[in-house]
C-alpha cells in the first residue's frame, strides 16, 4: 500500500505525517522508518521510530532512493511501514512522471514485501498525474 500526501508549502503535510508515524508506532507490530530530507523532525518523532536524515547519505536521485530503501529492508525484514517526507527534495526530482514511476515501484515493493509506504510531496494535488492520483 502506498499513500501519497500532496499539498503546497505550509499545508500541514509534515504535521500530518508525524501524526501518522505516531499512529503506526502504536498500532503496528513491525519496525517503523521515517526518511526525512534533514534533521528537522528529531524532536517530533518517537524514539521507537528509525529516523533517517537523508542528507547524511547524499541521496541524489530516485534510483539511489530505490536502492536505499531496498538496503534498509534487506537489513531489517521486520520493517512494516516507511514514511518519506518530501520525496522531491530527497530525490532531487521534480518530474511528476518520474515520481509517478517511483510510486508505482513502491507499490510493487509494498505488495511483494508487505511494507506500507506513506510519502509526502510538495505540490498542488491538481497538478498530480493520473497515475499519482490513485495513491492520494
Domain spans in the chain, listed from the N-terminal domain onward: 18-115
Q: Residue 10 pLDDT > 90, yes or no?
A: no
CB 65 within 8 A of CB 102: yes
What's the predicted TM-score (pTM) here?
0.95
The tens digit of pLDDT for each residue in 86-132 reads 999 999 999 999 999 999 999 999 999 999 999 999 999 999 999 99
The tens digit of pLDDT for each residue in 64-98 reads 999 999 999 999 999 999 999 999 999 999 999 99
Within its chain, how far is the Cα of 22 from the centroid? 15
3-state secondary structure of 53: strand
Amino acid at each position: 500500500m502506498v499513500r501519497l500526501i500532496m499539498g503546497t508549502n505550509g499545508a500541514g503535510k509534515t504535521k500530518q505525517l508525524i501524526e501518522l508515524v505516531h499512529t503506526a508506532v502504536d498500532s503496528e507490530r513491525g519496525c517503523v522508518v521515517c526518511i526525512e530530507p534533514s534533521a528537522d523532525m528529531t524532536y517530533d518523532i518517537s524514539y521507537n521510530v528509525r529516523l533517517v536524515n537523508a542528507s547524511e547519505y547524499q541521496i541524489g536521485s530516485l534510483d539511489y532512493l530505490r536502492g536505499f530503501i531496498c538496503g534498509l529492508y534487506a537489513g531489517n525484514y521486520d520493517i512494516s511501514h516507511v514514511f518519506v517526507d518530501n520525496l522531491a527534495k530527497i530525490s532531487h526530482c521534480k518530474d511528476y512522471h518520474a515520481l509517478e514511476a517511483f510510486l508505482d515501484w513502491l507499490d510493487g515493493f509494498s505488495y511483494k514485501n508487505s511494507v506500507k509506504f506513506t510519502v509526502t510531496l510538495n505540490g498542488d494535488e491538481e497538478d498530480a498525474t493520473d497515475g499519482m492520483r490513485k495513491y492520494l
